[in-house]
Structure 1
Amino acid sequence: MNQPQTEPVTAHAERGYRKPDATARRQRMRDFQSQLSERMQQARISTREQTSQLGLQIGPEHCLLSLREAGEIVAVGTIAGVPLTQPWFLGLANVRGNLVSVVDLAQLRGHGPTIIDKQARIIAFGPSLGFNGAVLVSRVLGLRDVAAMTLQPGPVEGRMANRYRDTDGTIWRQLDVSALIADPQFLQVGE
């Protein structure tokens, strides 16, 4: 009786090891390089986000808001007033399906009420802050590069952190939303 001949089994074959295919190795190398390139791109974007800030006009002041603290930016729609609240607490607004409390930041800072016109905007707080709030601003001025500005000496004022001077001589105040939402005055909206 003839037995079929089989090749001798090696230790590598017993463990299921096969010599890597050159095409598969090249594909894995391409995938690795692609992932590495994406990670480097994300790192560059993250660095730019740290120096790029959202420029705002709040009453007469020019302010900077970290992109990490900013959420939705919407035109001013209907704001449902809430009785027996501070004048700077405008009420509640629906921002893309989320109910947020809206504060007139200029009025809270001691300036007059913000005029609601076609340039006024509501800036919702970023979801990372865990606070369903928003501020009314006079206008959004676009992205500003803080790295191109000069840090100005002087005391830090509560909700406004650093001050910067741009190349045109305009002073920009850094709005610290984390400090704002922790401020007892901000949280006490009742009269």
Structure 2
Amino acid sequence: MPRSAAEPERSEVRAGDEGPWALLRHLERLGLGHREPLPAQEAARDVWSGVGFRIGGQHYVAALGDVAEIMTWPAVSRVPHTRSWVRGLANVRGNLLPILDLSAFLGRGEVAPSRLVRVLVIEQQGVNAGLLVDEVLGMRQFDQADWQESVSAEAGITPFLDGRFSTAEGEWPVFSMAALARHPRFLSVAD
């Protein structure tokens, strides 16, 4: 009886074939007979990836490799005789991690407790620290072509900026965790 166009082709293995290997070869031939060409590939873009975050009303982005971890605000133990932007020490999986208020360090006032507050954990040049930020905005990807060297920002934050990405969403200043970790004021936590 002839097969209708709507009926799928039957996969049959003839008597005398050599078991499962013959079946696999037969299935492979059937699959290769019905394959479609791969879609045309788009030209690869040169993409820069980072973590977006907010301090006050301004959003920034840090290189993805500069942020080791993102966590919620942990319980901290205050450390006496430290600057006001040092919130304390947290025990993170058995390791002591200094928790520092990035907004207060930059002279913008303390981060207010909220469910959106996050800690960006950095490990830069032997400096391990947790930086309190108002909110993490997720992973961001930018075309390298959108990067610009010049940044207009407040004087207190300029030493920590490494260009910006200009997109339809607006300006995204690139915050350099390496520049922060080597800055003398950041390294001087004693009051």
Tell me if TM exceeds 0.5. Answer: yes
CA contact (8 A) 2:147 2:163 kept: no
Q: In 2 relative to 1, CA 162–98 (structure 1 residues): closer, same or farther, beyond 3 Å?
A: same
CA contact (8 A) 2:52 2:140 kept: yes
Partner AA of 1:61 in structure 2: Q
The equivalent residue for 1:63 is: 60
The equivalent residue for 2:36 is: none
Distance in 1 between the 2:109 and 2:79 partners?
20
CA contact (8 A) 2:161 2:173 kept: yes
The equivalent residue for 2:117 is: 120
Distance in 2 between the 1:49 and 1:65 partners?
17
TM norm structure 2? 0.67
Distance in 2 between the 1:50 and 1:183 partners?
28
Q: In 2 relative to 1, CA 70–104 (structure 1 residues): closer, same or farther, beyond 3 Å?
A: same
Distance in 1 between the 2:47 and 2:67 partners?
13
CA contact (8 A) 1:95 1:124 kept: no
Q: Does 1:134 align with 2:135?
A: no
Gaps of 5+ in 2: 1-43
Summarize the alignment of residues 1-191 of structure 1 with structure 2, pairs less than 5 Å apart. Answer: 51-126=48-123, 129-147=125-143, 149-151=146-148, 153-154=150-151, 157-169=158-170, 171-191=171-191
Moved runs in structure 1, 4+ residues, more than 6 A?
A: 47-50
Distance in 2 between the 1:166 and 1:172 partners?
8
The equivalent residue for 1:17 is: none
Partner AA of 1:137 in structure 2: V
CA contact (8 A) 1:123 1:136 kept: yes
| TM-aligned CA deviation for residue 182 of structure 1 | 0.7
1:7-56 deviations in whole A, cap 9, x for unaligned?
xxxxxxxxxxxxxxxxxxxxxxxxxxxxxxxxxxxxxxxx9996111001
Distance in 1 between the 2:188 and 2:179 partners?
14
Partner AA of 1:97 in structure 2: G
Which has a greater percent of helix? 1
CA contact (8 A) 2:52 2:138 kept: yes
Partner AA of 2:141 in structure 1: D
| TM-aligned CA deviation for residue 144 of structure 1 | 1.1
Q: Alignment partner of 1:62: what SS?
A: strand
1:166-190 deviations in whole A, cap 9, x for unaligned?
2122x22211111111101001111
Q: Alignment partner of 2:68: what SS?
A: strand
Gaps of 5+ in 1: 1-46
Partner AA of 2:186 in structure 1: F
CA contact (8 A) 1:153 1:163 kept: yes
Distance in 2 between the 1:140 and 1:62 partners?
9
TM norm structure 1? 0.67
| TM-aligned CA deviation for residue 129 of structure 1 | 3.9
Q: Alignment partner of 1:68: what SS?
A: helix
Q: In 2 relative to 1, CA 87–94 (structure 1 residues): closer, same or farther, beyond 3 Å?
A: same
